[in-house]
Amino acid sequence: MSQVAVNIRPLGGPTKLQSLIDAIGEREFELELLALLNETCGAEHCAIFGLDGLAPRELAAASLDGTNTAHVCASQYLQSQSWRRDPTMGAARQQATNDTPSLIHLNIGDLEDRELRDVIYARMSERLLLCGPSAAGRVALSILKSGSGSLFEASGVMDLERFATILLPILGKHATATWQRSRLLLALTSLEEIESCVLGCVEKFPRRESQVCARIIYGMSSTGIALELGISEETVMTYRKRIYQRLGIATQRELLIWYVSQWAQAPRAPALVSSVRH
């Protein structure tokens, strides 16, 4: 088995790097990442993992042929806990205190573990795992090439090494941006999330007013709120008036602005502890 960890020195990057930077936080980021990796070293599949936690988490995946091969492979890899036996992931997790990026190489044909070689990495010939710190935590970028005996170009691997210190912060920034976007979407579309935030403002509302407030923010009508909570519409209107008086506002739009401000100030879990696939 060929497996080497290399500490990376910061240098320049390829022509598609700017396109990748421009795509941070956007849905096309994964495809731009794979386009860059393909241009650099001939990569055909890639997956991003977060390493902060008891187990790696898939953050994104893409395949050059437009299929979901990379995602299926990554999901199977995690669900079967094959990462526990994978020497590349083992080496990446052992370098948790290393402040510099590392590039770990694996010739899949040399693997003695048949499940990894023939099931998880089926039809793959070679894997590179770029790992290291980012602003959002430790991340690992899995880069795969398929085809029997088809290996990464040596010059491409050297180029990948050179811009690794630029690439890892980009991955971390994207992970944070997509996580924040998914959390904001949840904040505006989940009654449970809205109610949890409003209930946290215990100094402002009694519990019943909090329930009414959350449902107003959620967009429910007074009739709908009354039916769900088992109170009259007049009581709902009374609670609405009290809520507006407590907050010093006059409209539902102002209530929504107040809620978003409260939600943004609430403590959140680190970005890479939660999956940010979209």
pLDDT single digits (tens) 217-262: 999 999 999 999 999 999 999 999 999 999 999 999 999 999 988 8
CB atoms under 10 Å from CB of 195, counted, come to 17
Q: Name which residue leads in pLDDT, 266 or 66.
A: 66
- Cβ pair 58, 48 in contact under 8 A: yes
Q: Calculate mean pLDDT across residues 153-168.
A: 87
Listed in order, the ranges of the chain carrying CATH 3.30.450.80 are 5-184
Question: Per DSSP, what are the bridge partners of residue 134?
Answer: 137
Q: Calculate mean pLDDT across residues 58-71.
A: 91
Q: Which CATH number fits domain 190-273: 3.40.50.300, 3.40.50.10090, 1.10.3720.10, 1.10.10.10?
A: 1.10.10.10
Q: Calculate mean pLDDT across residues 141-146.
A: 92
Mean pLDDT of all residues belonging to the chain: 85
**CA-closest candidate to residue 130, choices 152, 107, 163:** 163
Q: Calculate mean pLDDT across residues 179-192.
A: 82
Q: Calculate mean pLDDT across residues 88-95.
A: 88
Q: What band does 128 get if pLDDT is binned at 50, 70 and 90? A: very high
CATH code, 5-184: 3.30.450.80
Q: 167 CB contacts (<8 Å, ≥6 apart)?
A: 13, 130, 141
Q: 239 CB contacts (<8 Å, ≥6 apart)?
A: 208, 209, 212, 213
Listed in order, the ranges of the chain carrying CATH 1.10.10.10 are 190-273
Q: What's the pLDDT at 84?
A: 93
CB atoms under 10 Å from CB of 132, counted, come to 26
Q: Calculate mean pLDDT across residues 9-19.
A: 61
Query: Does 160 score more than 70 pLDDT?
Result: yes
Most confident of the ranges 5-14, 69-78, 203-212? 69-78
Stretch (H or E) spanning 90: helix 87-94
Could you give the angle at the alpha carbon of 66 between the alpha carbons of 157 and 271, nearest 5°? 70
**CA-closest candidate to residue 101, choices 34, 179, 170:** 170
Query: Does 143 score more than 60 pLDDT?
Result: yes
Render pLDDT for 16-54 as a digit per residue (tens, 0 to 9).
888 999 999 888 999 999 999 998 888 999 999 999 888
